Amino acid sequence: MRDPLVPAGLDDAYALELLRRQDALQAEARGVVADLDLVQLLSRAGRVEQVGSSVTGLMVWRDIDFTVLCRDLTAERAFEAIRPLLTHPRVTQFDYRNQTGHRAPPVIRGDERYYFATYWETSAGEEWKFDVSFWLSDAPRDYLPYAERLKRQLTDETRLAILWIKDVWHRLPTYPDEGGAFDVYEAVLRGGVRTPEQFDAYLRERGLPGRSEVGGAAG
């Protein structure tokens, strides 16, 4: 008999794989954060908060997000704080963006940050991405409260729907800028979306590209 908590169209075996992968990734993330002492390392610049799917339990790939709430931060101090990570022998590449002043993208307009995306390889050859935002104000952000609200709203069905859609969408070149995690959460929890096909329609209705428009498979 089919599990009624599995969204229609999602194979039971795939559903089990999504749940097992999530749990394994979250456990691995905890170990990586501890082994690299990332919280202590980043706290030299400000107050560190680990946010995102490694906190909410909605992981589909190796990605850990941090915000660092800072006061009077300069780019030089941000680089100084994160340098031990950037110079780690298993770091393969990193992307730095100065998103201050007129360089701030519309999504954070009115706020400013120094952003680092760092790619680090485990001894087994698995690649992790660390997203670190050094915010130029120590004013509280809503990331952690949002994560707690999100976890309270999740049911077995919506959790699986989110993991399913994210597993499809994170492979697209537009992720996470268009059809990112926040869009998935809102679509599932507010819009009643349960499948990748429904999410595709949800995005199109809002003027965002669907899978076929960005190189993903249709259907």
Look up residue 10 and give its amino acid. L
Taken in order 54, 60, 63, 68, the sign of the CA dihedral is negative
Exposure of 131 by Cβ count < 10 A (0-12 exposed, 13-18 middle, 19+ buried)? middle
Q: Provide mean pLDDT across the span 101-121.
A: 92
- How far, in Å, CA of 216 to CA of 197, rounded? 12
Exposure of 124 by Cβ count < 10 A (0-12 exposed, 13-18 middle, 19+ buried)? exposed
Q: For the chain, which domains are there?
A: 36-139 (3.30.460), 146-213 (no CATH)
The CA-atom distances, in angstroms, between 10 and each of 3, 4, 89, 145, 190 are 10, 11, 41, 30, 20
Q: pLDDT tens, 48-105?
A: 999 999 999 999 999 999 999 998 899 999 999 999 999 999 999 999 999 999 999 8
- pLDDT interval class at 217 (50, 70, 90): very low
Q: Provide mean pLDDT across the span 19-28.
A: 98
Q: pLDDT tens, 129-174?
A: 999 999 998 888 888 889 999 999 999 999 999 999 999 999 988 8
Closest by CA position to 9, among listed 159, 154, 181, 160: 160
Other beta carbons within 10 angstroms of residue 192's beta carbon come to 11
